[in-house]
Amino acid sequence: MADQLVKQSGGKAIVFARLRSNQATQEGTRVAYQTTYSYKLSRDSKTEDTKDGKVTKGGALEGTLSLELLSSNQAIVRDLESAQVNAYPLDFWIVFTDTPGTRNGTYSGRYMRADLTSFEETGDSDNSVSVKVEASIQDGYARLGDITLSVDNQDNGYDFEDLGKVSNSETTSTNTAPTPTK
């Protein structure tokens, strides 16, 4: 029987980032307050007219990642600006948290190494300060694979808590968010 088609939800696709130079000491960080991202692949082609007809020549594959978010005091926002100023390479992941990976406990995702091509911060008088970054993906495209999220990286919101008093020494409930099913 064929697999049933399931659409992916944009709200369940989450971008993580890290300065490439921090790969030995830091996990990828979920970029807080993301509003949208775009992953784009393109290839320029050129058509030449010849006496025998048109000949098309393909160019190199180019990949671009764009990310928009609300600005915050999160360290990764400063890292993104620093990467633009100092030409530091970055690691990016797009994790589809509504799509289980091929291994148990993983999610489907994309991984890419990229160089920022622009960093834009905008502050309107009636809105929050927003940040938009664009990155050129090294070798032209992201790699597909399975991504394991640590408990710290998962967005489980908050746990159920009874209406009784809770002291500082008590922990919250051990209820967890449901695990995606295949």
How confident is the model over 138-166, as a mean pLDDT?
A: 72
Q: Is the pLDDT of residue 104 over 50?
A: yes
| CA dihedral (70, 71, 74, 75) positive or negative | positive
Tell me, what's the pLDDT at 180?
46
Q: Is the pLDDT of residue 35 over 60?
A: yes
- pLDDT category of residue 45 using cuts at 50, 70 and 90: confident
pLDDT top residue among 12 and 172 = 12
| Residues 63 and 37: beta-carbon distance below 8 Å | no
- pLDDT category of residue 33 using cuts at 50, 70 and 90: very high
Please compute, for residue 163, the number of CA atoms within 13 A of its CA located in the half-sphere on the CB side.
0
- pLDDT category of residue 1 using cuts at 50, 70 and 90: very low
How confident is the model over 142-155, as a mean pLDDT?
A: 77
Which pTM was predicted? Answer: 0.76
Tell me, what's the pLDDT at 166?
59
